[in-house]
Amino acid sequence: MASASPSHVRLVVPDLGMPGASLTLSLWLVPEGAAVLEGDRVAELLCGAATVDLEAPVTGRLVRQLVDEDDVVAPGTALAEFEAAGEGGES
C-alpha cells in the first residue's frame, strides 16, 4: 500500500483499551471527496454493542476511504486520508 502524501492526514482506529475486542467499521457518514470540518463525524466504529463516532482530524476534504464498511479493523489501522484545507490547490 502506498504511503500517504505529505499533505494528507490519516484517520486511524483509536486504541479503545479493550484488548481482544472485535472492531468493525460499520458506517461511512461522509463520501470520498466531501468537504469536512475538523471534528465532524465521518464514520462509525462498532465495538461489541457499543458504537464509537470517528471524527475528521482536520478541516478539508476526505480524499480516500482505505477500508470498506463491515471490514474488521485493529487499533492503529488507517481508515481514511484527508487533505487539509489550503493544501493541493483547495481552499
d(CA 49, CA 64): 28
pLDDT value of position 89: 47
In a domain, 29, yes or no: yes
Domain count, the chain: 1
Domain, as residue range, for 25: 8-13+21-84
- Kindly report the pTM of this predicted structure: 0.82
Q: Specify the CATH number for the domain of residue 56.
A: 2.40.50.100
75 CB-near residues (< 8 Å, 6+ apart):
12, 13, 14, 15, 16, 23
pLDDT value of position 2: 44
**Going residue by residue through the chain (91 aa), what tens digit of pLDDT does each one get?**
345 555 799 999 998 887 777 899 999 999 999 999 999 999 999 998 889 999 999 999 999 999 999 999 999 999 999 999 876 544 4
